[in-house]
Amino acid sequence: MKRPLDQEKVVAIVPAAGIGKRFGPGTNKPFNSLGGKPLIVWSLKTLESIGKIEEVIPVLKVEDMVQGEKIFKDFKLSKIKRIAAGGKERQDSVYNGLKLIKEGNCIVLIHDGVRPLIEKHLIEGLINHMLKILRDKEDCDGVALGIPLKDTIKEAENGMIKKTLNRDKLWAIQTPQVFSYKNILASYKKAMKESFYSTDDTALVERYGGKIKVVMGSYKNIKITTPEDMYTAEALLKMNSKP
């Protein structure tokens, strides 16, 4: 029996299988401690707390899966029933997660495991936005968080500025990003067949004619890429904990 749209199953995929080149040698970024907890646990606990999300599928490097499973049990993350094996690139990893989903009518939320400070209300808003799109049969294939750029952006080549881009039209896209399962899977299958790779899920949907809405994210929803980002995240955590 098909579920009502407002009860559509939501599955979250959390890729965290990158090698972390810019984070430094000899480190395991997803398990690096942030505020006394492994980095990936912050976003997983937030996803766990959202009623409409029925399952969370982390994607880890094969060699990290045993350690990951123990950590997830220790933090009582009950919505994690399966862990997907990471691939060579982020796109391979997300595709491995998508292939574990068996219910074709669900909604898929994809969130980078190295964005630990994502706020619960933003995730809930994205899911509700996608449900409304499906209910109203809007001509739209996904929803993503984004923030308007603050800096002046230049296009440069070989160290020389070619032109200044119109900042008013430029957004930095974040995760989570939300899609119907059928749409995102179809885009992934086409991209993999063509050997077209992107680090952004919405880019794959756009490539095959899909339309994506961007809604306001948060400047706190930072991506941990370098060791310096950990200092920023720690400072934001301390700021959030102040009365």
Q: Where are the domains of the chain?
A: 8-235
- Specify which residues 125 forms β-bridges with: none
Low-confidence ranges of the chain (pLDDT < 50): 1
pTM of the model: 0.93
Q: How many CB atoms lie within 10 A of CB 96?
A: 18
Contact 13, 24 (CB under 8 A): no
Per-residue pLDDT reduced to its tens digit, 18-39:
765 656 555 678 899 999 999 9
Percent of the chain whose pLDDT exceeds 90: 86
Please state, in angstroms and as integers, the Cα–Cα distance from residue 179 to each residue in 88, 102, 172, 187, 217, following that order.
Answer: 23, 15, 19, 11, 17
Residue 39 CA to residue 42 CA, distance in Å, equals 6
Q: Which CATH number fits domain 8-235: 3.90.550.10, 3.40.50.720, 3.30.1360.30, 3.40.30.10?
A: 3.90.550.10
Per-residue pLDDT reduced to its tens digit, 169-189:
999 999 999 999 999 999 999
